[in-house]
């Protein structure tokens, strides 16, 4: 194979791809009666796509709340540990140093994150427990309201006008003390601003899209993008909300989101937060798919960016669209590494 573009992609991928948001633990939990799910169903795609670091997000579905929230979260973490220990190529990391060791030894590193603080209930003590278990980034809410605050709605307006609850503010303060990164994905606009006003370090939005192309409160406005840029933060671009229209949900549109952020705040603040979800969605009965559409939105998956084995398509498209090698490396891994180095 002497294709210069493919060789260039090989070179750009030697640093690995960092995806800061993947709903892996919930799938491992649903398949908890099986063994080697991670090794057989996910590892081949990670390997094909040169994925090196994955933000593995604990998320609790409505049907488990409130009673089973804590138990399911702990079980999700237990499955992630058991499944990574079963493979020499996979490891859970709790610090930047561990991530670097994993990268140097060719292992795929999982960073445990939490999407919505429902597992904590209203007990701040649980935060320390989850920290000890390895949780290193937390988004306070998903779309729903919880004890910490309100999620941004999947509509152009109508999110709660207020910011965090007193408990939400306590969680933010304690995360700062413990060394857990607050993730601004999903939080409503008022909560977004409040968190920024309470913190000083570079912020992250692990997985989101820009409102310019999909105008819902769940995504981020140009004003919010600027706030992240001013603080040298990083925004991970999501693959499932690139457009409200199916026919516009393309790889080129995904790049448009990257380009829009880069134009506003520079290529030092754009990363990847694919939020691949098709593997879960396709397992659902039609009734649950319809429920998701009614509650939030109908996700439109990008045909050639549907799972981690497709990352070469992204890099090829970035090259076609004129990004230089230095910028592509920053987007694929460099910017997230800068944050992880500074924060963990
Ligand atoms: Zn999400």
DSSP assignments along 298-315, one per residue: ----BTTBSSGGGHHHHH
pLDDT digits over 50-84, tens only? 999 999 999 999 999 998 999 999 999 999 999 99
Look up residue 23 and give its DSSP letter: -
Going by C-alpha positions, the residue among 196, 198, 225 that lies closest to residue 212 is 225
CA–centroid distance, 4 to ligand 1, in Å, is 36
pLDDT digits over 316-336, tens only? 999 999 999 999 999 999 999
Between CA 210 and CA 224 the distance in angstroms is 10
Cβ 110 vs Cβ 54: under 8 Å: yes
Going by C-alpha positions, the residue among 192, 255, 266 that lies closest to residue 229 is 266
Between CA 130 and CA 211 the distance in angstroms is 32
- Phi, psi (deg, nearest 5) at residue 149: 170, -155
CA–centroid distance, 116 to ligand 1, in Å, is 9
The pLDDT value recorded for residue 202 is 96
Determine which helix (DSSP H) or strand (DSSP E) holds 51, and give its type and residue range. strand 51-58
For the record, the structure tokens of 230 come out as: 């001013």
Between CA 314 and CA 316 the distance in angstroms is 5
CA–centroid distance, 242 to ligand 1, in Å, is 13
CA–centroid distance, 5 to ligand 1, in Å, is 33
Distance of CA 129 to the CA centre of its chain: 22
For the chain, the C-alpha Rg in angstroms (whole number) is 19
Cβ 24 vs Cβ 57: under 8 Å: yes
CA–centroid distance, 277 to ligand 1, in Å, is 10
CA–centroid distance, 274 to ligand 1, in Å, is 10
CA–centroid distance, 6 to ligand 1, in Å, is 32
Going by C-alpha positions, the residue among 175, 57, 185, 198 that lies closest to residue 124 is 175
CA–centroid distance, 171 to ligand 1, in Å, is 19
Mean predicted lDDT score pLDDT of the chain: 96
CA–centroid distance, 206 to ligand 1, in Å, is 9
CA–centroid distance, 298 to ligand 1, in Å, is 14
CA–centroid distance, 143 to ligand 1, in Å, is 8
CA–centroid distance, 22 to ligand 1, in Å, is 9
How much is the average pLDDT of 94-112? 97
CA–centroid distance, 240 to ligand 1, in Å, is 10
How much is the average pLDDT of 182-198? 98
pTM of the predicted structure, to 2 decimals: 0.97
The per-residue b/e assignment along 273-282, b for 16 or more CB within 10 angstroms, e otherwise, is: bbbbbebeee
Going by C-alpha positions, the residue among 274, 211, 270, 267 that lies closest to residue 244 is 211
The pLDDT value recorded for residue 139 is 98
Residues in the chain: 344
Helix (H), strand (E) counts: the chain: 16, 9
Between CA 204 and CA 135 the distance in angstroms is 15
How much is the average pLDDT of 266-277? 98
Is the confidence at residue 178, as pLDDT, over 70?
Answer: yes
The pLDDT value recorded for residue 1 is 58
Cβ 39 vs Cβ 87: under 8 Å: yes
The pLDDT value recorded for residue 2 is 74
CB atoms within 10 A of CB 291: 13
How much is the average pLDDT of 10-34? 97
CA–centroid distance, 131 to ligand 1, in Å, is 20
Helix, strand, or coil here: 199?
coil
CA–centroid distance, 89 to ligand 1, in Å, is 27
Residue with tokens 């709340």: 65
CA–centroid distance, 230 to ligand 1, in Å, is 24
CA–centroid distance, 115 to ligand 1, in Å, is 7
CA–centroid distance, 3 to ligand 1, in Å, is 37
Cβ 17 vs Cβ 332: under 8 Å: yes
């Amino acid at each position: 194979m002497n294709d210069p573009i493919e060789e260039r992609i090989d070179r750009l991928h030697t640093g690995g791809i960092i995806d800061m948001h993947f709903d892996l633990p919930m799938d491992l939990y649903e398949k908890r009666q099986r063994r080697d799910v991670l090794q057989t169903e996910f590892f081949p795609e990670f390997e094909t796509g040169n994925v090196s670091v994955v933000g593995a997000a604990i998320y609790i579905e409505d049907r488990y709340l409130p009673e089973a929230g804590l138990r399911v979260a702990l079980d999700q973490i237990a499955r992630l540990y058991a499944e990574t220990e079963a493979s020499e190529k996979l490891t859970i990391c709790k610090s930047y140093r561990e991530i670097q060791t994993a990268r140097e030894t060719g292992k795929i590193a999982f960073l445990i994150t939490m999407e919505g603080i429902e597992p904590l209930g209203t007990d701040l003590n649980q935060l320390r427990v989850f920290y000890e278990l390895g949780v290193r980034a937390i988004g306070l809410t998903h779309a729903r309201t919880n004890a910490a605050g309100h999620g941004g709605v999947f509509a152009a307006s109508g999110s709660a006008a207020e910011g965090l609850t007193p408990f939400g503010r306590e969680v933010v303060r304690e995360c700062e003390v413990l060394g857990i990164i607050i993730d601004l994905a999903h939080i409503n606009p008022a909560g977004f601003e409040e968190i920024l006003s309470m913190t000083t370090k570079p912020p992250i939005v692990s997985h989101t899209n820009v409102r310019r192309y999909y105008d819902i409160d769940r995504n981020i406005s140009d004003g919010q993008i600027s706030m992240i840029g001013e603080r040298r933060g990083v925004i991970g671009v999501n693959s499932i909300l690139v457009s409200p229209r199916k026919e516009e949900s393309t790889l080129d549109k995904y790049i448009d989101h990257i380009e829009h952020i880069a134009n506003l705040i520079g290529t030092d603040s754009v990363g990847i937060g694919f939020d691949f979800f098709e593997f879960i969605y396709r397992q659902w009965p039609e009734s649950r798919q319809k429920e998701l559409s009614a509650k939030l939105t109908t996700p439109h998956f990008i045909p050639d960016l549907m799972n981690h084995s497709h990352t070469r398509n992204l890099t090829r498209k970035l090259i076609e669209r004129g990004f230089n090698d230095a910028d592509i490396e920053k987007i694929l891994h460099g910017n997230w590494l800068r944050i992880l180095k500074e924060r963990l």
